[in-house]
Structure 1
Amino acid sequence: MTEFSNAFIIRYLRQKNFFSCVLCTLLFTNIGCKQIEKEAYIPIEPEYYHASFVGADSCTKCHQKEHEEWKNSHHDLAMKLADSTTVLANFNNTSFIHNGVKSSFFRKGQDFFVNTEGEDGTYQDFKIVYTYGVTPLQQYIVAFPNGEFNCLLTAWDTKEEKWFHLQPDLEIKHDEWINWSGGSQRWNTMCADCHSTDLKKNYDLSTGVYNTTFSEINVACEACHGPASEHVSYYENAMDGAEKSKAPPQLYMDSEMSSLEVVDKCARCHARRTNLTSNFDYKGTFMDHYYPRMLEEPLYELDGQIKDEVYVYSSFIQSKMYQEGVSCNDCHNAHSLQLKREGNDLCLSCHTPNYNTTAHHFHPMNTEAALCINCHMDGKLYMVNDFRRDHSFRIPRPDQSVDYNTPNACNKCHTEESAEWAASFIQKKYGPARADHFSDHLLKGYTGDYVAFKKVFSNKHYPDIARATAIGRYADSPITEEEALNLSLYLNDSSVFVRNETVRALERIGNPAFSERVVPMLKDSLRVVRISAAHYFRTLGTASVKELEAFKKADKEYVEELKVNSDFPAGLHQLAIYEQGQGNSDKAIEYYQRAITEDSYNNRSRMNLALLYYQLGRPEESEALYLKVIEQEPEFSYVYYMLGLLYNEKGDSTKAGSYLYQATTLDPPNLNAYYNYALLLQQQKKNEASLEIIEKGLVQFPFNERLVYIKLLGQLNLNLRYKALETLEVLLQLNPTNADYIQLKKQLQGGV
């Protein structure tokens, strides 16, 4: 099940002038391999495009061995009807209390029930209709009248045989999106696409009703191999000799796939990603249907190690093993999902025996510490008791832990020792040099050396997902127009990840001058890039571009993505932005309001709606929304900044100053808060106070030209000519050709 962070990231575009602001645009989000050319394995339209689903029983008579391996696997038991053979938990009048909410589990005849707090805050009996998963935990699903199915957050620990809560550290209110009755535990939205076969969500945006269907309740044969009616028919007819002259029909997954193709096809259920299409139709590649998340917080550590639950794919394609052609089925039995060998024997099926010696790992043989996976596949617990290993297969780097506070496998075991101790041990045993790794440069980039990001995305030997991640972060840095121009060259990169993130990066940079270079991306071979290009032109495009046939086709795919995700608060938020861009304010308001209703803590939608109300001349409604955000997130700087702007527009300079000041004291640091508050102080003839605020701002945003310029204004207001000349020198270093700066310097020097 996908998990989503409760954090809200609100990004506002640069203000055009002092007290006017524009609508923020937020890209909807709740991967390096070499470019996978579709033509390499879909040269013609395969038979499975026209096939239908016939069920696992149709496969059994020819594939008995595979069927027996699959039976009782995690795929087979992914979801089942709740009955006495599938429910593992104790429903014999047991109960569990979490943060004052009591859940009581009992039976009525053959049926299973829970009495717990529902979405309205009252206790009700809910019938369990499905089981979900099998080990190390099992969840239970309840049906709601509008076609929703929701997973309880109280789950059964199948090893300890006890009830437990999946969010033990959170106090969750009944009306929150992350409550069991809210959207975060909605099976139709969060789980079904990967836990059943031939899933169609069938959500009606206008009514809010689901009519979700599947051909088989679990992950059966055709979930991976694709619809098999043509395949089954061929072999049934072949027994009579009718098909002997024809080649057997191709399946979506078969034994002839390349390693890259295997990983790409497993990725759709083993990646943290966003859906692009209404259902997976077994056409195209992974990136024709999904947008995978990059190696960014809070999902990943800054070096790319797993942090939140990310489902393997984006970790594995970072690895050297993937680069060398290793795929999922080299280690795992594709049907039982079990490892093909136990312990270090699995690793030694490829690696030489000298790795399995004390001379290499320096731990006693035949111990847990001597297992390859405990050094090179460190892991984390998710959903409280489900241990998942990091598939990036890294060499431990405690030296990075010393410099950047990233985790490392050594100190996960040697908890009593410091990272310095572990780094010293590594250096002593393996020498002072560490093999070059993209994380060395990513970490430097995150800590202020933005040019280090360029070292990652310009190196084609690094994993493509790392390169794409670096492009996104590089674009968030204060790059020059020339650097942005050089970045645009990566629109032609062979990697779909790099091309896609370049389009998204150029949109964030916000310079329409690159539009001509982005136009060809509307015809990219992969849907994810076409959608990103359509989004780019929705934000920055001209009327002439929007008349292009390529834009209209890509925009249609973009709108489909918006509708597909419209049962997420973030999806409704994006629909609101889209309608607002179309000039449909009423529709935008409707979708923002629905997003807030869906998630009562959805403050990014409140912020956008508040701004829209203000633009429509409804300042009281705008003010109320901003104050609600402060009630829920009192430490969030941007809402104080926006209220400061609002009160200034209303002519209340006292409140404006108070809120702008608070915006400069809270996180995240906001350049515009410093700038606008300092300017307001200067308008109030408080130039000394203005200079104090500017100095604090320059600590956060050193050498920012706007801040340095108003520092100059404050000094001139106080007649501090010598200091003003010093500040002018800084401005001329930042912008040496600015004619106004040059002229002002001459005037000041003449006056001195």
Structure 2
Amino acid sequence: METSSTNRSAFASWLLCLLGVTLVVAMGLGHGSGWGRGVQRSGMEKRLAEQLPALGARSSYTSSQTCLSCHPDQHHSWMTTYHRTMTMRALPETVLGDFNGQTVLSDGLAYTVSRTNDTFWARMPDPDLVMQAVQGKKGGDLTRIPSVDLQVVMTTGSHHYQTYWVESPRLEGLMQTLPLVYLIEDQRWIPREAAFMRGPDDQERLVTQWNHHCIRCHSTGWNPGLDDRSGMLNTEVAELGISCEACHGPGKEHIAYHRNPFNRYARHLGSEPTDASDLVNPAKLDHQLSSHVCGQCHGVFMPNNDSAMDVAHKGVQFRPGENLHDKRYYIQYPKDPDDKERWADFQANPQFFAERWWEDGTVLAGGREFTAMSASGCYTRGKMSCLSCHSMHQAPPEDQLTPQSDANASCTQCHQEAEYNERIESHTFHSGESSGSECMNCHMPHTTYALFNAIRSHQIASPQVASSLEHGVPNACNLCHLDQTLAWTQSHLVDRYGHEALEMPLEHRETAASILWTLKGHAAQRAVGAWHMGWDVAQKTSGGDWLSPYLAILLNDPYPVVRYIAKRSLESVMGEKVPDYDFMGDSSDRQRTYQEIMAYYATNVSQRGGDGKLLLDDAGQIDQRTYRRLLRQRDDRPITIKE
């Protein structure tokens, strides 16, 4: 383990290491590099393999295919997961995007996608020159960079959207991003910068190389392969995507052992102890070590200082079953005033924290579930693990939730007291059959953002208004009771649970919290608020006929992700009555759609006329004066979320 003094410099050293790898590649375009190729295939697949990082068995890794013969059921269930399809070769059966000759602008540069037989292509500004200009700090007019035709060789994503990679024209095996995103449900292309929460004035171009960044969580048995002499990346991976060995450990010795029939019989008869090469079953580890298996990707971390360059040179250091903290420095939001090390991290890198946490220390960025859970009492004082709710082999792929995880059984397996079971109404003050008595709706609200969605916080906590009042973090009560004020929530928490009553400003006594978040909140609040206005549970609790004016204004929000979420929620409120709308369209067109919806609402008003906390007059019309005043107070600080 590292000493405190070394940890204090962890941010700086790791960020410099990453920057150094990037700059070396960006500045070294004249250097050559060569390394082993992947498995040779005939025809198109052979040519494709030649452009990818070296694929196949390496070091102690083998591949998921070798697991199939002995573990067909587990292999089959894994095959259905989005973990398997996280990264794939670009083949007709894996490419979901419509390569139809369309041209899409990304930060002012033109990208044209097309298909020739079973191969996929992009005509794009030379990605090496773009990388050199952006990451190498060369600057210049990027629109003057010549375009090149490059084959799309690799995909990332298969659930919500899919992105694509091309090989560098000059550096073998270096995967350059095609900065477009294909939205699977919408069946459309958008520029990559529109798919992420980032400030509207953020001029930083999203130029990424897969080999030293995405590789760490989107492949198995990875090694960036930094060569100090050439400065190039001789990248190799055992397998694209998250496969068996990512969770169970390298399998080469295990397979060799069990291919010997005498060893198998001995194991079967119990006459031989477990061999030293045996793989790890996360379900048989303690709750911390099993969670570390997931935490190797689902966390905010960096390598320990003494291993940072080893990662760049040799690749993945962690093996399932090991203590992850021995290999990495896990970053947490500082809460203990005496934790000088964490506060030093925070003070040195405030923007780093702002891009991943709410201001009260609750995790904001999706994909960081281990970081969130490991800050929860259920993990630190109890025995909660990722496997308490999730399974890679016994759950549908949408969220990998076990059958009991959609109900309260995930929680009551530990919380067996009567007040959480047969007498749950005495604890929740809601009907036992209602959504208000579902543990996760109160203790794991959807306050984390990723992939155009609000997702459940994995930082288990009880509802309270202090964070909403002091830091603007949406609370579980008001995310379900969209039509109620923060003062209303506080009154119930004081009466029912003995919370301390805080001084409540006038606006929190007069106006529903959801309206304040959507009209005057910052972009993360607006995104979370808009998502909940489309949540069926909240609509059933709060009604939906008053929501359209608050979603309509978000159709012209400065952030594309907020506009997208608002449009989707508006469709759940208005159905087919939503006018034609393109969240990537011109501002004038988006404003016109807003006006059409407001005009429609004026003749189809809410039945809750006179409800002042919803800004409705007696006739059900919007109090335009207050509506516009709150809108003028919108928090326009730039928000970036590193999901």
Q: What TM-score, normalized by structure 1, do the two folds share?
A: 0.47
1:200 to 213, 223, 230: 223
Give the aligned partner of residue 459 of structure 2. 392
Give the aligned partner of residue 246 of structure 1. 272
Matches within 5 A, 1:338-737: 338-341=400-403, 342-347=405-410, 348-352=412-416, 354-355=419-420, 357-363=424-430, 370-380=437-447, 382=449, 384-432=451-499
SS in 1 for 2:358: coil
Question: Does the 8 Å CA contact 1:51/1:228 hold for their aligned counterparts?
Answer: no
1:291 to 298, 321, 329: 329
Question: Does the 8 Å CA contact 1:399/1:419 hold for their aligned counterparts?
Answer: no
Tell me the distance in 2 between the aligned counterparts of 1:240 and 1:165.
Answer: 55
Q: Displacement of 1:158 after TM fit?
A: 1.9
1:55 to 53, 57, 63: 63
Q: Please list every run of 5 or more consecutive structure 2 residues that lacks an aligned counterpart in the other structure.
A: 1-8, 16-57, 131-141, 334-345, 347-352, 502-643
Tell me the distance in 1 between the aligned counterparts of 2:358 and 2:264.
Answer: 58
Question: Does the 8 Å CA contact 1:226/1:282 hold for their aligned counterparts?
Answer: no
Give the aligned partner of residue 210 of structure 2. 187
Tell me the distance in 1 between the aligned counterparts of 2:154 and 2:450.
Answer: 19
Say yes or no: does 1:280 pair with 2:280.
no
1:308 to 341, 345, 365: 365
Question: Does the 8 Å CA contact 1:138/1:156 hold for their aligned counterparts?
Answer: yes
Give the letter aligned to residue 211 of structure 1. Answer: N
Q: Displacement of 1:409 after TM fit?
A: 2.4
Q: Displacement of 1:235 after TM fit?
A: 2.4
Q: Which deviations, in whole Å up to 9, do the C-alpha atoms of 1:418-454 show, x marking residues without a partner? A: 43332223222323359xxxxxxxxxxxxxxxxxxxx
SS in 1 for 2:111: strand
Tell me the distance in 2 between the aligned counterparts of 1:206 and 1:423.
Answer: 63
Q: Displacement of 1:294 after TM fit?
A: 2.1
Cα pair distance change 1:81/1:382, threshold 3 Å = farther
Give the letter aligned to residue 227 of structure 1. Answer: P
SS in 2 for 1:224: helix
Tell me the distance in 2 between the aligned counterparts of 1:416 and 1:29.
Answer: 46
Say yes or no: does 1:267 pair with 2:295.
yes
Tell me the distance in 2 between the aligned counterparts of 1:241 and 1:403.
Answer: 62
Q: Displacement of 1:282 after TM fit?
A: 4.3
Give the aligned partner of residue 256 of structure 1. 284
Tell me the distance in 1 between the aligned counterparts of 2:157 and 2:500.
Answer: 45
Question: Does the 8 Å CA contact 1:399/1:423 hold for their aligned counterparts?
Answer: no
Q: Displacement of 1:327 after TM fit?
A: 1.1
Cα pair distance change 1:365/1:242, threshold 3 Å = closer
Question: Does the 8 Å CA contact 1:94/1:105 hold for their aligned counterparts?
Answer: yes
Say yes or no: does 1:142 pair with 2:166.
yes
How many residues align structurally?
387
1:71 to 64, 79, 85: 79
Matches within 5 A, 1:17-56: 27-28=12-13, 52-56=60-64
Tell me the distance in 2 between the aligned counterparts of 1:303 and 1:265.
Answer: 27
* Cα RMSD (Å): 3.3
Tell me the distance in 1 between the aligned counterparts of 2:485 and 2:14.
Answer: 36
Question: Does the 8 Å CA contact 1:398/1:410 hold for their aligned counterparts?
Answer: no
Cα pair distance change 1:315/1:383, threshold 3 Å = closer
Question: Does the 8 Å CA contact 1:304/1:315 hold for their aligned counterparts?
Answer: no
Question: Does the 8 Å CA contact 2:106/2:193 hold for their aligned counterparts?
Answer: no
Q: Displacement of 1:381 after TM fit?
A: 6.2
Q: Displacement of 1:84 after TM fit?
A: 1.0
Cα pair distance change 1:140/1:172, threshold 3 Å = farther
Give the letter aligned to residue 323 of structure 2. Answer: T
Q: Displacement of 1:212 after TM fit?
A: 0.7
Question: Does the 8 Å CA contact 1:234/1:248 hold for their aligned counterparts?
Answer: no
Q: Which deviations, in whole Å up to 9, do the C-alpha atoms of 1:594-633 show, x marking residues without a partner? A: xxxxxxxxxxxxxxxxxxxxxxxxxxxxxxxxxxxxxxxx
SS in 2 for 1:75: coil
Question: Does the 8 Å CA contact 2:60/2:251 hold for their aligned counterparts?
Answer: yes
Tell me the distance in 2 between the aligned counterparts of 1:135 and 1:91.
Answer: 18
Cα pair distance change 1:243/1:68, threshold 3 Å = same
Tell me the distance in 1 between the aligned counterparts of 2:150 and 2:263.
Answer: 53
Q: Displacement of 1:192 after TM fit?
A: 0.5
Give the aligned partner of residue 88 of structure 1. 96
Indicate the structure (1 or 2) with the bigger Cα radius of gyration.
Answer: 1
More helix by share: 1
1:319 to 369, 376, 396: 376
Question: Does the 8 Å CA contact 1:95/1:103 hold for their aligned counterparts?
Answer: yes
Q: Displacement of 1:344 after TM fit?
A: 1.7
Give the aligned partner of residue 193 of structure 2. 167
Tell me the distance in 2 between the aligned counterparts of 1:93 and 1:344.
Answer: 46
Tell me the distance in 2 between the aligned counterparts of 1:368 and 1:92.
Answer: 45
**Structure with more contact order per residue of length (Cα contacts < 8 Å, sep ≥ 6):** 2
Matches within 5 A, 1:118-137: 118=127, 119=130, 120-121=142-143, 122=145, 123-137=147-161
Q: Displacement of 1:155 after TM fit?
A: 1.2
SS in 1 for 2:67: helix
Q: What TM-score, normalized by structure 2, do the two folds share?
A: 0.54
Q: Please list every run of 5 or more consecutive structure 1 residues that lacks an aligned counterpart in the other structure.
A: 1-23, 31-49, 435-752
